[in-house]
């Protein structure tokens, strides 16, 4: 899908981290954007950053942006957000499901149910967003692109973070299982970065980050996503981004599978 001014984009988790960076990157392309986040203050900050990029565009008819507070673990809030987006922009061309949470606590001793919240946001929230996005795109009768944010830890076992890995593996399989929608003009892809320097990434143990040769530059993630949006041939594929091996598509070759097996050992402690 070609990025241009008439395109409208909805981004969950856009109040910080990767979601915010993508909102700014897409604003530079002139797309109209709905900024969704559970923390309204953060979403409003992103909204102002998007508006600043619009002011730099050399066009008469500036794109527009709106801010919507949304907890993706609550289906009614997701549904309301989509209704607001379509009411304002009259279209739903690109959806980026970036909202997510992470923690490395031992789920076996997790009496507070933190793991349930993780699954509700990372997996159930992504499923509900994807479901409504597909439904809306079909109803509007226009081609659409859905980008689900998973993780490199959704591609191979991660004994250090089993619930997080399970939630992201679910996102990967959801995405790959929707490849048949390309016949209806709807393309679903997943992005599986290793570790990015974000508020959520900084919650992870330093030893884990060091084992991956440090954080991935945000620019590498942005460029990968923009390329994925514009490449119509990659329906169902997962963009695998690591510091050591760059940007690759998954499923992978035998050589890359060997790397995956090695990674299990690195992140298994």
pLDDT digit string (tens) for 150-208?
999 899 888 888 999 999 999 999 999 999 999 999 999 999 998 888 777 776 667 77
Task: Give the sheet arrangement for strand 8-12, strand by strand.
Answer: 65-69, 32-37, 8-12, 94-97, 144-149, 186-193, 238-242, 246-250
Closest CA to 23 of 53, 1, 55: 53
**Scanning the structure block, which residue is given the tokens 């986040």?**
37
CA geometry: angle 75, 80, 82, nearest 5 deg: 95
On whether the CB atoms of residues 250 and 240 are closer than 8 A, the answer is yes
pLDDT band at 264 (very low <50, low <70, confident <90, very high): very low
Token readout for 230 is: 């514009």
Annotated catalytic residues are 164, 168
Share of the chain above pLDDT 90, in %: 65
Nearest by Cα to 97 from 167, 44, 182: 167
Mean pLDDT for 73-82 is 98
The tokens for 255 are 């050589």
Question: Which pTM does this prediction carry?
Answer: 0.90
For the chain, list the domains and their CATH numbers.
8-266 (3.40.50.720)
Mean pLDDT throughout 228-239? 90
pLDDT reading at 62 higher than 60 = yes
> For residue 246, is pLDDT > 90?
no
Tell me the per-residue pLDDT of 110-155, one tens digit each, with 9 for 90 and over. 877 889 999 999 999 999 999 999 999 999 999 999 999 999 989 9
Whole-number average pLDDT of the chain: 88
How far apart, in whole angstroms, are the C-alpha atoms of residue 221 and residue 55? 24
Residue 127 or residue 3, greater confidence: 127
**Is residue 13's pLDDT more than 70?**
yes
Answer whether 97's CB lies under 8 Å from 12's CB: yes
What local confidence, expressed as pLDDT, does residue 195 receive? 84
The CA–CA distances, whole Å, from 190 to 49, 98, 186, 193, 216 equal 25, 10, 14, 10, 17
């Amino acid at each position: 899908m070609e990025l241009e001014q008439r395109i409208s984009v909805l981004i969950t988790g856009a109040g910080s981290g990767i979601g915010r960076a993508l909102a700014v990157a897409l604003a530079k392309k002139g797309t109209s954007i709905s900024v969704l986040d559970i923390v309204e203050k953060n979403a409003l900050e992103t909204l102002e950053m998007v508006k600043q990029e619009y002011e730099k565009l050399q066009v008469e008819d500036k794109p527009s942006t709106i801010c919507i507070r949304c907890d993706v673990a609550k289906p009614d809030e997701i549904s309301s957000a989509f209704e607001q987006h379509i009411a304002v922009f009259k279209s739903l061309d690109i959806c980026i499901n970036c909202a997510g949470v992470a923690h490395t606590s031992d789920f076996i001793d997790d009496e507070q149910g933190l793991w349930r919240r993780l699954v509700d946001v990372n997996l159930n929230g992504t499923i509900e967003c994807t479901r409504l996005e597909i439904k809306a795109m079909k109803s509007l009768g226009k081609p659409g692109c859905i980008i689900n944010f998973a993780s490199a830890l959704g591609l191979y076992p991660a004994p250090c973070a089993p619930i997080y890995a399970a939630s992201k593996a679910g996102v990967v399989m959801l995405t790959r299982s929707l490849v048949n929608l390309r016949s209806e003009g709807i393309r679903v892809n997943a992005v599986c970065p290793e570790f990015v320097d974000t508020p959520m990434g900084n919650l992870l143990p330093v030893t884990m980050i060091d084992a991956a040769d440090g954080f991935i530059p945000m620019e590498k993630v942005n460029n990968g996503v923009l390329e994925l949006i514009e490449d119509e041939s990659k329906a169902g594929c997962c963009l695998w981004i690591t510091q050591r091996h760059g940007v690759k598509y998954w499923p992978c070759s035998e050589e890359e599978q060997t790397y995956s097996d090695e990674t299990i050992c690195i992140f298994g402690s």
